[in-house]
Structure formats: C-alpha cells, structure tokens
Chain A
Amino acid sequence: MKSVKIDINNQPLIVLLHVIEQQTGVSFAFANEILQGRPNISLHIRHTNLKAVLDKLFPVTQYRIKVIGRQVIIKQQSVSVIPLDSIVKQVEMNTVVVTALGIGRQQRSLGYAYTDVKGSELTTAREINPVNTLSGRVAGLDVNPVNGGVGASTKVTLRGVKIIGGNNQPLYVIDGIPVNNSSPGQAEKFGGYDLGDGTGIINPDEIETISVLKGGAAAALYGSRAGNGVILITTKKGRSKGLGVTFSSNTTVEVANNSYDFQDSYGSGRDGALPADAADAHNFPQVSWGPEMNRDSLVWIWNGKQVPYVNAKHKADAFFREGLTLTNALSVSGGNERTQLRFAYADIRNKDIIPQSGLSRHNFSVRGTSQLSQGVSLDMKITYMNEQVHNRPGLSDNSNNIGYVLSGIAPDIDINWLKDYKQAVTGDYVNWNNNVYQVNPYWVINEQPNTSMQNRLTGFVQLKYQLCPGFYVQGRTGMDYSRFNFREFMDYSTPYNPGGGLALKDRTFREMNSDILLYYSRKVKDFRIGANAGANRMDYNEDLLNTTGRNMNVRHVQRIDNFRTQLSNEQLRRKRINSVYGAINLSYKDLLYVDLTGRNDWSSTLAAGHNSFFYPSASASFVFSELIKSEVLSFGKVRFSIAQTGSDAIDPYQLKLSYGADPDIPSIGGYIIGGVATNSVPFEKLKPSISKSYEAGINLSFFDSRMRVDATLYRSNTRNQVLNAPVSSSSGYTSAVINSGNVQNQGVEVTLGLQPVAGKVFRWDVDVNFARNQNKILVLNSLVSDYYTLSSARWGNVTIAAKSGEEYGSIMGRDFLRDSQGHLILDGNNLPQYNSRDTKLGSSQYKWIGGINNRFSYKRISFSVLLDIKHGGNIFSMTNLLAYSNGLQKGTLEGREGWARSEKERLAAGPATGSWMPTGGLKVEGVSLNENAGGMGRPMYVDVMAYVNPQVYWQRVGNNIPEPFIYDASFVKVRQLSIDYRLPFFRKEVIVSLVSRNPFILSKHIPNVDPESTYNNTNAQGLEYGSLPTRRSFGINIHADL
C-alpha cells in the first residue's frame, strides 16, 4: 500500500479521511454514524502505511474494515462495545483535549498539568450536587461538601487557598460560557442556611468531558476569575445521522450515616439529682448530669408525667427516615450532515432523610449546530433548570438546627415524646426545654417550614466563519440568568419569634459575556504556528431583596401582608469587565511546543488609573520520547510554565463611602436613623491583585500505557490581594478594604495509572492520585495587623485565622495553662485554667489528599471501588464541646460514679462542700500555686492530685478551654462502590449498575460527627457545630444507549 503523510491539526475526522483519499486514491464508504461523537483529530505522521493509520483510527475492537478494490468500507461492530476505560482515565497523549477558550489541543502539546474526567464517571453513582462526585478522582481537586442538608453547596479548591477571606473557588465554564457558582446564602457563626450554589445547572448526563485546569498557565486566558483554576465542562452535541436516544434511570435509597456514640447510663438532671418536678423537668431534657439510670426510679418529664428512669427506647437517630432519590434522564438527538439537534431532560426527585425535606430538579436543554453555508457554522444552546428544595435544615447556631438539638438529648428522653410539639387546642408551641434557641425538631419541620425555588436559564449563540483553511473568526454571546427565592415561615408562638415571622429572600442575577475570537494556524516545514486573539465584555447585574415580616395577624397565613411589621433591605450589584487577549502556540515537529498568552482586563470595580491590568503566561512542553526508541518507555515529556493572573475586586462599590437610612431601623418615632452605610472602610486607590505561578511536570508512560505517571510541582504567590481586613472596631469600622498580602502555595500532585492485569477476559486498573499543598502567608497586612480573623466559632472563643508566617486557616484559641514541664496549673478548686492569649490549636487545612480507584473487569461485569483520603487537618467540634458540657459525651463518664459515692459519704458525714475532701470523682493531676512557698519573686508550684465533680470540670473546660475539642479531621472513606453489568439488548447494550455512595468510613478520629461536617462553603473551614449525620446511599442505575 502506498505510504501516507498526514499533517492535521484539530480537524474533524472527515477532513482526515479526505486527505487520505487524496493521497492514496482509495475511497471510503461508511455510515455517517462512524463519525458520531468523534473528537477533532490532530495527527502528524509521515511514511506510514494506510493500514496502520486505519487501525489507529478505527480499532478492530469497534470497527470492521473491508477493502474491495479501491473501496474501503468501514462498519461499526454490531455490538457497540462501551470502552473499558470509561471509568479509568487514560493518559492517551495523542488525544485532543479542550483547553481555555474551547480551543482543542493535543494533550502532548500542553505545557501544564491537565486532567479530564469523562461525563460517564458522574452518572453511574450520582449525587444531587454533581461536583461531589469528583471527590477523590483528580489530584489536587479538593472537594468539601457542606453538611447542610439536601441541595447544599460544595467548596472546591485547586492548589490551595490563595485569597485571604475571599472567594477561593474555581471558575466554572460550560461550553465556553462562565456560569455563576456563587451561593445566595451560607450559614455563619450565629446560624443560617446553606442555600446551595450554582452547580445545579450542570446536568451530568449532558457532560462529554470535564477538564480541570489547575494552574495559572492553563487558566490565564480566562482572566480575573480564573486565579483559582477553571473547571471546564464540554457538553454533548447532536448527531448527524439518524435518531439517538439515551435513557438512564437511577434509584437510590439514603440512610443516615449515624455517628452518634453518646453515653447511655446517666440521664436528665444536675449534680447527680433528678429534676424536682414537672416544671423543673423543663430544664433538663438536654442536660445529662443526673444520677445513674435505674429502672426503680421515676423521672419527671416536661409534659407533667413521671416515667421510669431508663434508657429511652427511641433515641435521637430515630428522628431520621429513609431517603429516596430518583433520577431519570433522557436525551434525543438527531440531524443530518448540515444540522444537528439534541434535546435532553433530566429529572431528580429526592426525599431526604430529614422528614419533610426534599428536592426536585428539572434540567432541560436544547443544542443546535448547523453549517449555514460554506464556512459559516452556527452553534447555539439553551439550558433551563428549575429546582425546588423543601426544608433546608437550619445550621450552626440557628434556633431550628435539628442537629444541634438531637446531639444533646439526654439518654432517658424518648425522641417520640417530642412529637407532641403543639398544644391540642391553641396550636401553640409546647415548651419542652426552657430554651428558645433549641426548638423542638418536630415543630421545626412542621410549623417552621422553608422552601426555595431557583429558575435558571443559560445559553449562548455562536457563529463561526471559516475564512480559509487555518483561519476562522468566531463571535459568541452567552448569558447566565438566575432567579432565586427563599421563604422561611415561622408560625405563631415559634420560640424566638413568638409573634410569628416570615423571611423572604429574592435574588436575581444576570451575567452576559460577549466575545469575539480570531484563530489562525499555519505550518512551515517542521514548524507550526497557531495564534488567536480575542476580546470579551462581561456585564454583571445582581439584585438582592431581603424582606422580613414579624407579628402575624392571622395564624398559619404565610403571606407577607399578614405581618404587622415589614422590613426590606435591597442590594444592587453592578459590574463590568472588558478584556482583550491573545495567544501564540509554536511547535517543532512532535518534539517541542511553546505557548505564549497575554490578557488585559479593564474592571469597573477598581480605581481609575489602576483599573487596567495586563498579565502574560508562557509554557513549554518537550516530548523527549520522540528522541528515544525504547520498548519500555512509550511516552515521555517534561513541561514548564510560568504565568500571571490578574484579579480585580470581586465586589463593586469599594472605592468610596456610601450613605443611607439604616435598613433595620428606617425610623423611630418619626426620626430617621441614617448615616454611613458600610462597616468596611473603602479604599480609593484599589488596584488589581496579581498571582504569579510556576509549574514543572513530567508525563511518563511505560509498557504500552500499562503504567502511567503524571507528576507536577508548582508554586504560586498571590500579591496585593484585595482584602477586607478586620480592623480595630475603635476605628469606627469592622474591616477595611486594602491591597495587601502575599500568599504562597506550593505543592506536588502525582497521578499514577496502573494496569496490573490486562487480559481479554479479566482486566484490573488502578488509579492513584495524591496531592500535597503547603500554604504560607508570607506577608499579610502592613496597614492593619498581622492577623486576619477569617471566622469565629459560636462557642469556646475559637477563631479561624490567617496570620503572617503561618498557613492559612489556623485554628486559634485558648489552651490549658501549664507550667514549664507541661503540668496543668490548677486553681483553688483544683480546676484547670487557661492561657488568656490565643495559641494555635490546629490547622483547618489538610496536609495531603488523595484517592485510589480500583476497577476489575471480568467479561461483562466490572467492579470498582473508590477510596477518598484526606490527611492531617483539624476540626473544632462544638457538638462534642456541648456534649461534654451537658454530660452526654462518653468522655464525661469518668469519675461520675466515684463522685456520686463521695457526695453520699459527705452528706452522711455532714460537712459542707468546702470542708470535705472528695473521695472519688474525676481525677485531676497538675500543680497549683503555693503563695506561701517559693520566694525570690518566683512562683512555687506544688503537685496536686485531686478528685473533682466531672460536671463542674467539663462545664469549666467547655466554657473556657477549647483545646480538648480540637480533633484530627483525617479520614479514609469508601466514596463509591459500583458493580456494572453490560447486558446485551437487541443489538445494543444496557448497562445495569449497583451503586453506593459513601458506604463506609474506614477511618476517622472524631466521635459523634462526620469529619466532613463544615457548616458553610466559605473560608470558615475547620468549624463544626450541631452537625447532622451525613448520608450513605445504595441504589441501582440503568443506562441505555438506543
């Protein structure tokens, strides 16, 4: 056969086939479906025969090739075999991948780390937040779901936290259009709800690939918001012949992953005594300092009854129910060579483990692609999403935080007693615990409901004009529009809102992106040059209206006009960024690739004179395996990149003071309360922040890709950050907008792919990823102080801080007062004391994270198990702190029996507390100050060993000393288990999978709660308070491609 020489860069398969036809004189015959779903191809080969090329393009496992004379007939195999690598990623270096601005590139040419995930990985075992399914799959992609109930958001971090107190989440781009992932609301120190994020617009069934652009060079072309990396999602297009139908159905059952492990031998009461009467019993449903439980005694409960004092039949975890999630997705696509259409619909219905809580979501999308005329093509898409969530749980210190209430209930209190939550006649709330901050959870779910609704519309229109081979112009405009409503109702007599209440939140945002891109490529001998240039305008509009109504006229009526007091607060946010950018890609043979990019942004949020900023990047890739002939090494390249990314002020209006009437007190007695309307000092000279990053990496592939290594070293420094730094409140303000800081992140990411067994019948793939990021704040804040409080905990005076010289997210608080030998210094009552200055008690950042995915395939069955590992971080657990204070924690058992005995002896003997030496109790060892000894101005310490009342001890520690409640947050979880069976179905296949998400926690170090139990997606990681149990799910997935 005649030898062929091919130089094709990012062209459709059909173009390649035409080239071959021209060179060899053969003609191809094939059904159009063989072109379906084929990515553009870049191929540079010389002196190869036709057969080799065809084998590469049409592997024998999937295609049959027949040659009749000069006619080459290409057919698909009768059964379309789903590639075995649909789960395990292949580092197939000649594949074309999607990079910034949607430009397809050969992966071998990239000078930076690149990972992609196939859409099918997200659809077998699903999560309601699709981003959660990425956890453990990509080196350095740190996924932290908020433990905030159904519809909650997820915090994603790539290569560490860069911006102090700012947004550190990556930019999401779907088909070239940035989508807004901001949350309409998050819980903080004093409570709130997780109102979700913007990822609901992602329909996993429609994802072709997800590209994770981690470093500066990869993302530099996306500008301002790409400093934290980019998650680039490419969705599926219509097919050009016939009708294709895909259907998948997923049914999962969810159960609470119950971690409660409380003591169950001491019940309600105080100081070892039971409540005195029914009135007194109101004080103790959540205080477990009573006597040891005993079937022969009776205990008062708040409803006026006396019941046997025994372990309750129904514990707190009986509150939860079995959840159910049904996901059904259908797509229909069809078209001809000129025009293709695709329609997709997905429906999620969820019944959460919290009674009365659930979610429903609908995603519709229509995509049309058309060759309008010679050289002119049109691509357009509209996606609509509707999501409703019922009864998002109150979090943190919200008075209706169910997790907070349940994790405190004394072991003798039966959860079913709480079902009588309202008065039979009046319907008023039944006071059960004399505590308006811990509302009966049955009242919460029934009389204090909340709902949210989001309507989201995204879409784009793109026109592309191919002026000549190698040169095209593309214009595009895209929109992301969202309307979100949240309403929270509190019926009459709800604790803390006794007159009833209604809180409404309406948020509308619209982001428009319009851009134009010119692309040019040309080959000169062994050199190839590609260049592009473009411009973009981004306009952002957001209106937020918060309305509260208080004191209702008519009970149960949930309309705002039913409330006598109504207050509103409106916020309007406007922003524009104009940009120009360009890139040059140079390559020499298949050996060396160099990319240069540059971008200039003009942002409306920065000061005049500082609002234009330019940032370049350069990267290079050297495929050294081209120079080595080796049986062992199939591929090898090294890569380097250096990049800058500029960032504006995310929030507008930070340049000068603004004034207005106080939104909470518009007037009193006719007098208007007004003035400076910000607590943050504006900064007239606000300039952009610049992040500079370096990266070096290596990709190696051995033994025909049986073993693959991808390793990256990186470092980034983010300077002149736009900070809203906390300042002394005596300055009149609580924070100040300034440009300051230098945060360094450096780390290593390694991905290892192994195929220990690669038989035709049995195959075993292992994928391992590992990432370690080291963060250090080199410079913080010369104008203010070297200490930036990111967030503070409700209890224990713990803060999460950024401090210069330390890593981001230190957990700061008081520790035990100790002498130089480390002994506790006890006070006159033999109780521990604390250092009045805060010290570092831990770090909220993990030292390393990783994942291990094993996949075993045997004939038509495959089994895979994904382990997710995070190691070395800490969490401050207020659930455990409170459980120690209220006597429910198992750790409070020590010394209780002894103390009860000692008290009995004391009462029999007669002396008062002060003049009795306890004979039992919690044993405390330490030293105490002897004021009479010592001398020479030095304190004299004497050793002390004493028994104290465990209740007094733990209440003292719980109130003042957070140190014992800082836990190791490391964990090893089985994130996902799945068994797939490929069932022949007529001439196609149906895949039936048994799946489980989060089935087991193999290792953790914190009792009673899941270590992944943060209550928001902001920078307040490392705090846990009244967390709900996390969920584990089991189910079946059916996927049919017809």
Chain B
Amino acid sequence: MRRYILFMLVLAGCTKNFRQINTDPGKGTSVAPGEQLAAAAYFLDGGRETGYPNLFLFQPMAQYLNGTTSMGYGSRYIWNDFYNTLMWDIFYSKSIKQLSDLIEKNKSDSMQANYIAAARVLKVYIFSLLTDAYGDVPYSQAGMAYYDKVYTPRYDKQQDIYNDFFLQLDTAFHQFDAAKAPVLNDIVYDGALVKWKRLAASLRLRLGMRLTKVNIVKAKAEVLAAIGEGVMESADDNFRMIHEDYAYPDLRGNGIAQALQEEQAYQHTAGCATFVNYLKAENDPRLGRFFVNRDAAGNDITAITHYLPIQPGMYWWDDVFDFIGANGQVIPYANKYCTINTPFYQYQSPYLHLGYAEVEFLLAEAAARGWIGDANMHYQRGIRAAMAQIGMYPGMPVIPANMVQDFIAAHVLTDKAIEEINMQKWVALFPNGFEAYANQRRTGFPVLLPIADVDGDSQTHGILPKRLLYPAAEAMNNPVHYQEALDRLGGTDDWLQKVWWDR
C-alpha cells in the first residue's frame, strides 16, 4: 500500500506535457514579417474607428466639412474623449506593436534588412501622425511591453522625436538592398524597394518642411537631403491603402467611408464655407466632384442651391430657414447644404497617406523659399497631379483635360506663392485631415473662418485647438510619465498649447 501511495504521488506530481498543453494549438509561435508590415499599414485607415478622428476632428478643424452631430467636436471645439483617444489606441496597439515586434525579432538577421527598413519608414510615418496631433508622445519606449517589460512608456519631447525621425528615415533609405530578402506580402508597394526609398525620402521632405517655423535651417537641410535621396516622381509612387467593399463592423472597408455611412451621416456632412467658397472662387472643376446637393428623395438639386455651404461650427439643423431658389423653389432646410459626394463614402475607396501631388507642392514651397529651382513648375505639376489623383475614387468622373489645362493656365504663382501653394495643397490633401490640420498650423493656410457657435458650446471660445488632449486613460495607466508630459505643457493638458514645431 505504501508503494502504491508513493506511485500516486509521483504520477500526480508529474508535469510532463505541461509545455505542450499550455501552447495554444490555434496560434503560431512566429509570423512572416510581411504580414506584420501589412497589418501595421492597414490599420491606419481600415474600419470606422480610424475614420472617426479624421472625419470628426481633423477635417472639421481644417474646415473641409462639418454639419453632423459628431463633427461638432472638431468644428466647434468640444472635447470628446472617445474620438480623441482612437488614433492613440489604434495606432499604438495595432500598428506600432507589430512594427516593434517585427524589428525586434528580425534585427539580428541581416537578410531581413528590407523588412526592417520598411518597418522603420512606417514607424516614422505613424509616429509623425501621433506627435503632430498630441505633441510629446511615448516614442523611444513605445510598443516594447513584451521585450523590455515597459508598461508605462516615457513621453519623449517632440523635438527629440523629430530628430530621430530624420535619422530613421535616412538609415532606412540606405538600408533597402535588392540583394537581401525581398519584401513579401507588401500591401504598400508590392515589394518595389525603389518606391519604398522614394517614400522614405518624401516623408523626410514632408517632415523637414514641418520645421520651417521652429528651425528654418534644419528644415532646409532636411528638405534638401530628402530631394537629394530622390522623392516620389509620379502617382505610381503614392503611399495609398486599398480597401474592399465591406460595411462596418468588417474592417476591410475604408474607415472614412464607414464613418460617413454610419446612420447615413453623409446626408448631413456638408461642405464647409471655407472650402467651398475657395473652390468656387478659383473656379475649381473639383467642386462638383467633391460636393453635391440632393433633396430628400436623392435628386440632384445643385442647379437650384448651387453648392450652398455650411458655416464652420454649425450643425445642419442650426439654421432652420428653408432655402428659396431663384425661381421660388422651396428647399427644406434639412436639404439645403451641399454634401460630400458619393465616391468618398464607398467602402472600397482607397485612402491616400502621402502622394505625388503633395510632394510637388512641398517642392514648390522649397523653391518658393529659394532652396531649389522653379517653384511654378512644381506648383503646376502639383495641381495636375492633384486633379488626376481623385480618379482613384470609384465612380469619380474624370476631369476633362482641357479643364485641367485651363485651371493650370489660370494658376501661376504670384508674390503670394507660399499661400497659393499651401491653398492648393489643402485642396489636394482632401480628405486627409491629419495632414491638412498639421499644415494649417504650420503655414496658417487656409485662413480659417470664425466658427458660428450658435449654442455657446465651444470649449475654447472659438479658438482652434493646437493639439489633441492626451487620452484620459493615461492618467490612470501611465500616471508618472503622463504628469511629466503635462508639466512640460505648463501643468495641465491644454489643447491650446502649441506643439514644438508650431511655436
């Protein structure tokens, strides 16, 4: 009997097979780096929740659009925790996580250099969106919870982050190597290393130009370095994300489109007066491609209302007077404003992160600043590329060549070149609110119209916020570093405090 008990003890005490039992049979222990790269790039604009900050905060702040309830937050400057937190939560935990893991796992294998380089470029791009929106953000310690056990990353100063951006982009540019393993499953450039290199340089161009206010010398140096490396040369080089025709909650659809389709919000997503009036003043053929007027039955009534825009800050119901047409037609107030046009809320619409048109406008600005040659040439190339670029939206009518030519002929830079370039860049960036908002803060263009705050809701008394507030959860989950960041802002999380490059 005693031997039997002993036997039982040995049997029960056995931990054999524990390792196998505790390994998830439904998941792998490794992954192809290309899949991580695709995930990191994809989650920047796939699914409604990534569309929200762009549509509800940045596009209204750039005075492209407003009118719906949710757009009131960005149009009237009302604080909303949920929309404010989304890009932080999604970008860090869906994109930065994968890129950090990719780099950490593959950094010792020199054959994987192209993946590492592509990951560096994407990381810089994603962090540039984050730091431009929030200011100082977790950077050097971010995304490393598993490898470094850092659960509460430090907030780096934006200046340090930018300095590292240029270093990372330069390193990546030189790291791409056709002799190394190709980038497979490459959702961005399908393995074309030369396009990755042009993206690295173009991003350097964009971020270098960002510094014109804070450090013109550094700005010029980085812009020239970028041009020297070789920036995008055509729309083929565009950093553009594909999508498929799926409604939320399927994340394969375009994020902005899913946000606009939600409760058919596009019906009241109206063209902002700042934007519509500029397009009208310039006689821009894109006006009718960006916007349309429809009645309740869906009929095109543009001929009656002629792209009536909404004042920034207003909701579609704020002005309850019906529209009376020239021939006395009564258009109920709910349908009087021009609204965003159909191609923009197609789930399969691609999303443009950084494109050739923007690059040409950046070059134009560099030239206008006297750093390189012919500003007008780049300006007009930029306009031409921007006109062509909207052809990527499904169902978007092509702008006839003669109209493009006439428009370009009418647009020659004058002595207000910086303004003209950045106004056309603003049009070209639509609907990329992230970049439009950053560029507006740097250049002051477009000059924003004062907001019509009918109910006195604005929490800034109508002043454009200069950054987003940090996610409220940081006060709980990362209290020490959060407080350090607040101390650098003067003690409170003030969204009227400018970010470093805006000072």
Q: Is B one of A's binding partners?
A: yes
Q: Which residues of B sit under 8 angstroms from A536, Cβ to Cβ?
A: 12
Min distance, Cβ B129 to any Cβ of chain A, angstroms: 14
Task: Choose the segment among A117-125, A177-185, A604-612 that binds chain B (4+ C-beta atoms closer than 8 Å).
Answer: A604-612
Q: Which residues of B sit under 8 angstroms from A801, Cβ to Cβ?
A: 476
Q: Which residues of A sit under 8 angstroms from B217, Cβ to Cβ?
A: none
In the assembled complex, the Cα of A550 lies from the Cα of B152 at a distance in Å of 39
In the assembled complex, the Cα of A612 lies from the Cα of B9 at a distance in Å of 13
Q: Which residues of A sit under 8 angstroms from B60, Cβ to Cβ?
A: none
Task: Choose the segment among A4-12, A672-680, A1008-1016 that binds chain B (4+ C-beta atoms closer than 8 Å).
Answer: A672-680
Closest B residue to A801 by CB, please name it. B476
In the assembled complex, the Cα of A676 lies from the Cα of B97 at a distance in Å of 8
Chain B 186-217 interface residues, beta-carbon cutoff 8 Å to A: 186-187
Chain B 235-266 interface residues, beta-carbon cutoff 8 Å to A: 242-244, 246-247, 249-252, 262-263
Min distance, Cβ B424 to any Cβ of chain A, angstroms: 31
Q: B93 touching A535 by the CB < 8 A rule? A: no
Min distance, Cβ B337 to any Cβ of chain A, angstroms: 16
Chain A 674-711 interface residues, beta-carbon cutoff 8 Å to B: 674-677, 679, 681-682
Q: A602 touching B15 by the CB < 8 A rule? A: yes
Contact of B477 among A567, A574, A727 (CB under 8 A): A727
Q: A279 touching B334 by the CB < 8 A rule? A: yes
In the assembled complex, the Cα of A729 lies from the Cα of B153 at a distance in Å of 9
Q: B476 touching A676 by the CB < 8 A rule? A: no
Interface core residue of A499, A611, A664, A679 (most chain B CB under 10 Å): A664
Number of A-B contacts defined by CB within 8 Å:
251
Q: Residue B158 at the A interface, CB < 8 A?
A: no
Interface core residue of B89, B93, B186 (most chain A CB under 10 Å): B93
Q: B98 touching A731 by the CB < 8 A rule? A: no
0/1 per residue, B444-455, Cβ < 8 Å to A?
Answer: 000000000001
Q: Which residues of B sit under 8 angstroms from A572, Cβ to Cβ?
A: 24-26
Q: Residue B496 at the A interface, CB < 8 A?
A: no
Contact of B18 among A535, A608, A657 (CB under 8 A): A608
Q: B493 touching A836 by the CB < 8 A rule? A: yes
Q: A660 touching B26 by the CB < 8 A rule? A: yes
Contact of A733 among B97, B186, B456 (CB under 8 A): B97
0/1 per residue, B471-503, Cβ < 8 Å to A?
Answer: 111111111110000000000110000000000
Q: Which residues of A sit under 8 angstroms from B40, Cβ to Cβ?
A: 675
Q: B29 touching A658 by the CB < 8 A rule? A: yes
In the assembled complex, the Cα of A611 lies from the Cα of B35 at a distance in Å of 34
In the assembled complex, the Cα of A674 lies from the Cα of B29 at a distance in Å of 12
Contact of A783 among B13, B151, B263 (CB under 8 A): B151
Q: Which residues of B sit under 8 angstroms from A668, Cβ to Cβ?
A: 38, 42, 46, 187, 242-244, 252
0/1 per residue, B7-32, Cβ < 8 Å to A?
Answer: 01101111101110111111111111
Q: Residue B36 at the A interface, CB < 8 A?
A: yes
Q: A604 touching B138 by the CB < 8 A rule? A: no
0/1 per residue, A608-621, Cβ < 8 Å to B?
Answer: 10011000000000
In the assembled complex, the Cα of A557 lies from the Cα of B151 at a distance in Å of 48
Q: A662 touching B39 by the CB < 8 A rule? A: yes
Q: Residue B88 at the A interface, CB < 8 A?
A: yes
0/1 per residue, A806-831, Cβ < 8 Å to B?
Answer: 00000000000000000000001100
Q: Residue A416 at the B interface, CB < 8 A?
A: no
Interface core residue of B31, B88, B242 (most chain A CB under 10 Å): B31
Q: Residue B150 at the A interface, CB < 8 A?
A: yes
Q: Residue A434 at the B interface, CB < 8 A?
A: yes
Interface core residue of A550, A570, A675, A727 (most chain B CB under 10 Å): A675
Min distance, Cβ A253 to any Cβ of chain B, angstroms: 40
Q: A732 touching B152 by the CB < 8 A rule? A: no
Q: A674 touching B39 by the CB < 8 A rule? A: yes
Q: B142 touching A731 by the CB < 8 A rule? A: yes
In the assembled complex, the Cα of A682 lies from the Cα of B46 at a distance in Å of 27
Contact of B145 among A516, A578, A602, A731 (CB under 8 A): A731
Q: Residue B164 at the A interface, CB < 8 A?
A: no
Q: Which residues of B sit under 8 angstroms from A499, Cβ to Cβ?
A: 247
In the assembled complex, the Cα of A785 lies from the Cα of B472 at a distance in Å of 14
Known contacts A578-B12, A600-B13, A665-B252, A611 near B151 by CB under 8 Å: no
Q: A674 touching B32 by the CB < 8 A rule? A: yes
In the assembled complex, the Cα of A458 lies from the Cα of B187 at a distance in Å of 50
Q: A676 touching B98 by the CB < 8 A rule? A: yes
Q: B24 touching A652 by the CB < 8 A rule? A: yes
Q: Which residues of A sit under 8 angstroms from B252, Cβ to Cβ?
A: 665, 668
Q: B21 touching A731 by the CB < 8 A rule? A: no
In the assembled complex, the Cα of A952 lies from the Cα of B455 at a distance in Å of 9
Q: A436 touching B263 by the CB < 8 A rule? A: yes
Q: B479 touching A535 by the CB < 8 A rule? A: no
In the assembled complex, the Cα of A729 lies from the Cα of B143 at a distance in Å of 8
Q: Which residues of B sit under 8 angstroms from A277, Cβ to Cβ?
A: 332
Known contacts A580-B9, A580-B13, A675 near B31 by CB under 8 Å: yes
Q: Which residues of A sit under 8 angstroms from B263, Cβ to Cβ?
A: 434-436
Closest A residue to B82 by CB, please name it. A797
Q: A576 touching B18 by the CB < 8 A rule? A: yes
Min distance, Cβ A1042 to any Cβ of chain B, angstroms: 46
Q: How many residues in B have their beta carbons less than 8 Å from beta carbons of A? A: 87
Min distance, Cβ A804 to any Cβ of chain B, angstroms: 12
Closest A residue to B142 by CB, please name it. A730
Min distance, Cβ A152 to any Cβ of chain B, angstroms: 25
Q: Size class of A's contact patch?
A: 35 or more
Q: Residue B296 at the A interface, CB < 8 A?
A: yes
Q: Which residues of B sit under 8 angstroms from A730, Cβ to Cβ?
A: 88, 92, 96, 137-138, 142-143, 153, 474, 478
Min distance, Cβ A221 to any Cβ of chain B, angstroms: 14
Q: A682 touching B146 by the CB < 8 A rule? A: yes
Known contacts A608-B15, A783-B149, A664 near B478 by CB under 8 Å: no
Q: Which residues of B sit under 8 angstroms from A675, Cβ to Cβ?
A: 31, 35-36, 39-40, 97-98, 101-102
Q: Which residues of B sit under 8 angstroms from A575, Cβ to Cβ?
A: 21-22
Contact of B89 among A580, A729, A783, A828 (CB under 8 A): A729
Q: Residue A726 at the B interface, CB < 8 A?
A: yes
Contact of B5 among A518, A658, A786, A797 (CB under 8 A): A518
Q: Residue B81 at the A interface, CB < 8 A?
A: yes
Q: A732 touching B137 by the CB < 8 A rule? A: no
Q: Residue B100 at the A interface, CB < 8 A?
A: yes
Known contacts A728-B474, A736-B151, A787 near B8 by CB under 8 Å: no
Q: B247 touching A733 by the CB < 8 A rule? A: no
Q: Residue B159 at the A interface, CB < 8 A?
A: no
Q: A498 touching B247 by the CB < 8 A rule? A: yes
Q: Residue A655 at the B interface, CB < 8 A?
A: yes
Q: Residue B70 at the A interface, CB < 8 A?
A: no
Q: A574 touching B138 by the CB < 8 A rule? A: no
Contact of B27 among A533, A604, A658 (CB under 8 A): A658
Q: Which residues of A sit under 8 angstroms from B36, Cβ to Cβ?
A: 674-676
Q: Residue B443 at the A interface, CB < 8 A?
A: no
Q: Which residues of A sit under 8 angstroms from B100, Cβ to Cβ?
A: 732
Known contacts A604-B22, A664-B250, A952-B455, A579 near B12 by CB under 8 Å: yes
Q: A537 touching B12 by the CB < 8 A rule? A: yes
Q: Residue A789 at the B interface, CB < 8 A?
A: yes
Min distance, Cβ B20 to any Cβ of chain A, angstroms: 9
Q: Which residues of A sit under 8 angstroms from B96, Cβ to Cβ?
A: 730, 732
Nearest 10 A/B pairs, CB to CB: A674-B35, A732-B97, A730-B138, A732-B143, A731-B145, A728-B478, A659-B31, A658-B27, A787-B476, A727-B151
Contact sample, A vs B, 19 pairs, CB 8 Å cutoff = A280-B334, A572-B25, A608-B15, A652-B22, A653-B27, A657-B101, A659-B29, A668-B38, A668-B244, A669-B244, A672-B38, A674-B38, A727-B152, A730-B92, A732-B97, A733-B146, A787-B477, A836-B492, A838-B476
Interface residues of chain B, those whose CB is within 8 Å of chain A, are 5, 8-9, 11-15, 17-19, 21-32, 34-36, 38-40, 42, 46, 81, 88-89, 92-93, 96-98, 100-102, 137-138, 142-146, 149-153, 185-187, 242-244, 246-247, 249-252, 262-263, 296, 320, 332, 334, 455-456, 471-481, 492-493
**What would 13 more interface pairs be, CB under 8 Å, given A516-B8, A578-B12?**
A535-B12, A536-B12, A575-B22, A576-B18, A604-B15, A608-B15, A660-B28, A661-B35, A727-B151, A729-B93, A732-B92, A785-B476, A785-B480
